[in-house]
A and B are shown apart, each in its own frame.
Chain A
């Protein structure tokens, strides 16, 4: 898989490059600014661009903006945004525009090569990736009134996998369940939470995350 890395911190950029190369990825470029990233993507047409959220000039949300731009101009290039923000805000903003082929992972996560590997693979397949920690935080929030209490432990598991952006098949693989069972669970969850059932995985992610955020 061909990957481009954009991070203004040389230390992280190089560390990540070596780690990915070590794990069999083809790192076709490393850059430090959004502008360089756009040029590199246009030039090398990677499968996935890994983008730090904080980049010059303002060091706030440049990564999100450039991710949207890349998804717009190069639909074949998936984007994984690395972030320090545990808040769902930026993740939500990222996948609102282009759910398929966009991912949001916490920076602390990248040392888990398996997680990184899985995320990159799913993105290349056109899935959406949301960091499990963000989903877990939303799920475990103490709420005075919540329909979440009505869910069974298994249903909560399924719900969090849905929120992480996994397809039904992905959920089957994770929980070792049959497609039919997963489908039934999902349907049950959406009814319990009063979310409009949608066959589209991507719209489903958005609906579930929106629900969890409120």
Chain B
């Protein structure tokens, strides 16, 4: 993320600083700092600090533009002393043009968004006007008509930009420039204040120091311009010098503000990193959410993950609804996670980037887990649908037999009985045979209906249905403890068919059954004499209700099947 600082640039600005300082020392009376030790040190410190944060920002992807502006501000700050009469002609001329640029560049810095862009038109207008007044009116335009010697600066070097000296015009330009820049600086102050008042608390926290220091600097510039407006040109009397020292301090604070924002970000990243470590390799679902909510001080924070198929799921893999203000945590082109949060939390986009960066591994991890859980849930739902469809068909078959064929057969039986009672002993034996066949058919039908779906299960519950199963002729079922509690229908059905299927799969041989509730699980335990073969259907059934099936086979062939079915509280 951090690029190597640009040594050339650093050297260039440092040289500018050294030249400025040397020039100031060379002719203290013409310097803004007055050449004293403290002002000189402050001038140097302000420039160097701006340069340092500027270069650092240049090395950071998202802050390159701001970094360039800060370096420019440092340069402009040093150039203020270049138009010292004690300098050489080139330096002097450069100073004439650029000496007043510093306020415009600093205003550009503080009016910019964190990424260096100027998004609002007032900010763009203010910055443009600033450059026009300082570089244009007070800089180039004034320089073109400024003949130092004609204006009683006898020791001044040659003005290389001079086209035609015009004292009157130079004075007017100076007047207009100073007044205009004064008005401009007041405008910038108004802009900064409204921006500060309007911004969200989070943003205020993040950008406050920068705006305050910048505002202080512009305010001091404004005061100096007010002071200069009375005489009509910029100069360096004792008031100017004091204000100028103040400006140096304000710029130091500005550099500090930038550094402080970094320090806060670094600390937050460190906190997130530590928290990620604390969460461990496999944080519980929602663990990351809770941690981020605590860290960012937003209890309403929700973390969700967009899947490839367009769904959005939470840490448990359940489909989540994203509502309220949402910030995407992006890595490369891919959205890793969505954060729903209170309005304004991420007004400073850098925080979102930091969270995405620092918690990347944990986010990736939880996202993968959420995705896996969602897939599992899909699978379970599909299983559940298949099983439910099968059960519905079984139930329907049982009802159809009960309501249709059975009563019909019973009615036929009654008819034969009626026939026999009417004709007494004269009935032939074929009626007896018919009756016996009808009874057999009725019993077979009953068994089919019973096998399809036990009517008692729905009406009376698991315990009664299992009791019925154990009363079937040659049933191998032995019930030891079966809870009489009623459960959700699909749970009872699952439990019943686990037992019924296990009997079939382990036949012949006894099957001992316990079915008891342990906290929020219905536990079905079957001890079979033989090992049941092909338990995939059982696994499907159990899996469909989100339960687990374990099969423990002992050396003697006896096997323990245990199905644990979650049954709520």
Contacts and interface: CB of A to CB of B under 8 A. Distances in A.
A111 B460 CA distance: 29
B527 to A, nearest CB: 11
Interface string A54-98: 100010110000000000000000000000111111000000000
A16 interface: yes
A176 B443 CA distance: 31
A147 interface: no
A107 B418 contact: no
Interface in B1-24: none
A158 to B, nearest CB: 21
Given A61-B459, A89-B467, A111-B435, A142 B476 contact: yes
A138 interface: yes
Given A22-B421, A22-B422, A84-B406, A12 B473 contact: no
Interface in A4-24: 9, 11-12, 15-16, 18-19, 22-23
B414 interface: yes
B414 A19 contact: yes
Given A87-B464, A89-B460, A12 B410 contact: yes
10 contacts: A54-B402, A60-B459, A87-B456, A89-B460, A107-B442, A111-B439, A112-B417, A113-B421, A141-B471, A141-B475
Interface residues of B, number: 38
Contacts of B468: 85-87, 89
A107 B410 contact: yes
Interface SS of chain B: helix
A213 interface: yes
Nearest to B414: A15
Contact of B411 (A12, A23, A84, A143): A12
B354 interface: no
A110 B455 contact: no
Contacts of B408: 11
B416 interface: yes
Contacts of B478: 143-144
A108 interface: yes
A60 B442 CA distance: 19
A137 B414 contact: no
B443 A9 contact: no
Interface in B383-440: 402, 406-408, 410-411, 413-418, 420-422, 435, 438-439
B459 A9 contact: no
Nearest to A85: B456
Contacts of B422: 22
- Interface residue tally on A, bucketed by range: 20 to 34
A86 B446 contact: yes
B168 interface: no
A11 B407 contact: yes
A142 B478 CA distance: 9
Interface of B: 402, 406-408, 410-411, 413-418, 420-422, 435, 438-439, 442-443, 446, 455-456, 458-460, 464, 467-468, 470-476, 478, 510
A138 B418 contact: no
Nearest to A137: B471
B467 A213 contact: yes
Given A16-B414, A87-B468, A111-B438, 5 more contacts: A60-B455, A85-B468, A89-B468, A107-B442, A140-B473
Instruction: Identify the interface centre among A16, A108, A112, A141: most chain B CB within 10 Å of its CB.
Output: A108
Contact of B414 (A12, A142, A143): A12
Given A12-B407, A137-B471, A111 B414 contact: yes
Contacts of B418: 15, 18-19, 22
Given A18-B418, A60-B455, A84 B446 contact: yes
A137 B469 CA distance: 11
A108 B413 contact: yes
Given A11-B408, A84-B402, A88-B471, A110 B464 contact: no
Closest 6 CB pairs of A and B: A15-B414, A87-B468, A111-B413, A111-B417, A60-B459, A11-B411
Nearest to A214: B479
A113 B417 contact: yes
A111 B439 CA distance: 9
A11 B409 CA distance: 11
A108 B411 contact: no
- Count chain A CB atoms within 10 A of each CB in B402, B417, B420, B438 and give the residue with the most: B417
B508 to A, nearest CB: 10
Contact of A108 (B421, B439, B455, B472): B439
A144 B415 CA distance: 43
A108 B475 contact: no
Contacts of A58: 459
Contacts of B402: 54, 84
Nearest to B442: A108
B217 to A, nearest CB: 85
User: Which of B410, B420, B435, B476 has the most chain A CB atoms inside 10 A of its CB?
Assistant: B410
B476 A9 contact: no
A15 B416 CA distance: 10
Contacts of B458: 60
Contact of B471 (A54, A86, A107): A86
Contacts of B456: 85, 87, 89
Nearest to A136: B473
A111 B416 contact: yes
B413 A110 contact: yes
A108 B467 CA distance: 22
Nearest to A18: B418
Interface in A124-154: 137-138, 140-144
Interface string A154-186: 000000000000000000000000000000000
A85 B459 CA distance: 12
Contacts of B413: 108, 110-111
Nearest to B476: A142
B471 A144 contact: no
A141 B474 CA distance: 6
A110 B414 contact: yes
